[in-house]
Amino acid sequence: MENLDVMVLRTLRDWRLSGKRALLATVVRTWGSSPRPVGSIMALCEDGAVVGSVSGGCIEDDLIYQYTQAYAAAQPSSVGSAAVSPSVETKTIPSGPPAFVKYGVSADEAHRFGLPCGGTLELLLEFDPSAADLASLVTSLEAGQLMQRQVSLMNGTVTLTTSAAPAELSVTTSDLVNTFGPEYRMLLIGAGQLTEYLATMALFSGFAVTVCDPREEYRSAWSVPGAKVLSEMPDDVVTAFKPDRRSCVIALTHDPKLDDLALLEALETDAFYIGAIGSRRNNDARHQRMAEHFELSEAKLQRLRGPIGIYIGSKTPSEIAVSVMAEVLAVKNGVELPRDMAVAQAKNERAVLHNDPGDLVCGIKR
């Protein structure tokens, strides 16, 4: 599955290029709990088609009701070719400058629109965004550029510029500025079963996935469509991949000859997540190899995650993939995660619960 923002903007572009009226809704402020974060976008076509999301669905339903009645009323009825004459005033997507709208101001509204208790969100609605501007933005995003989109609140005029770094959405009295980036990317070293599960989850989460494995016996069994599979040596692939702050690199072969050199290359980049599969013992040995043979600094070694994944007592490849994907998303979203002591405590509590002292850690057994 492709990046959601790109999909929304591409679909909106196509609607506008075909002459259809449409609006773009952006979450610009939230108070209390909210179902979608600031910066989330959705597009609504005059025929009621929706792509993207700003809530769990109820707000989308209200926007459809508010802005597509006239289109529905103008369609031929099922019993003849004449248009249906509305008995009440119908609404359509208006022209003019962007407009703000709030949902969930009162408890009744919060309940009506399915917002969490105390939740309020504010949207900016842009009516009939320029097809040419949308086409230019989508082209830049598809080329891998990070783009800043500035919208004049006075007249809806859009200014597009390249951006050097991601930034939070901002709203002033005159403009809205939102930064859109290319897809998050994941490079996986090794094409085994665990990789298949992790690649599937990453694709579903909007990552562009590349898998590297020079071993033919592993590549030949690969069965996940949508992931790019390469046969070159992993360190060369990492160099060509050029990881940036929207990239992660994960080594899954258990083979130092394949994993270590790739990880060394990755640690010289801005990748937001770099990790390798393996036990604590294997992770300690990896750190020692890199420090002794490659003179890697402690600061760089601190960026190398291992053992990877959030501790959930997982043993099977599918469950391990869940734990790794959860950790990647947490790091991507800026969530601080507990590490060794919390894992040891969780293992001990699980061992006690299941009356299995052989599972105890922290000096007893690992």
Task: Give me the pLDDT at residue 106, please.
Answer: 57
What structural domains does the chain harbor?
Answer: 4-76+84-131 (no CATH), 185-309 (3.40.50.720)
Task: Give me the pLDDT at residue 81, please.
Answer: 34
For 131, phi and psi rounded to 5 degrees? -65, -40
Tokens of 70: 């006239």
Contact 210, 186 (CB under 8 A): yes
Q: Is 178 helix (H, G, I), strand (E, B) or coil?
A: strand
263: which residues sit within 8 A by CB, 6+ positions away? Answer: 249, 251, 274, 276, 286, 290, 304
pTM: 0.68
Provide the residue-wise pLDDT of the chain in tens; the chain has 366 residues: 457 888 899 999 999 999 999 999 999 998 776 667 899 999 999 999 999 988 866 888 889 888 887 555 555 544 443 333 333 444 688 889 999 998 875 556 555 655 555 568 899 999 999 999 999 999 998 877 889 999 999 999 999 999 887 788 999 999 999 999 877 899 999 999 999 999 999 998 889 899 999 999 999 989 899 899 999 999 999 999 999 888 999 999 999 999 999 999 999 999 999 999 998 899 899 888 888 877 778 888 889 998 899 988 888 999 999 999 999 999 998 888 876 445 556 556 656 665 655 544 433 333
| Cα–Cα dist 244/163, whole Å | 14
Q: Is 170 helix (H, G, I), strand (E, B) or coil?
A: strand
Secondary-structure percent of the chain, ordered helix, strand, coil, rounded to 5: 35, 20, 45
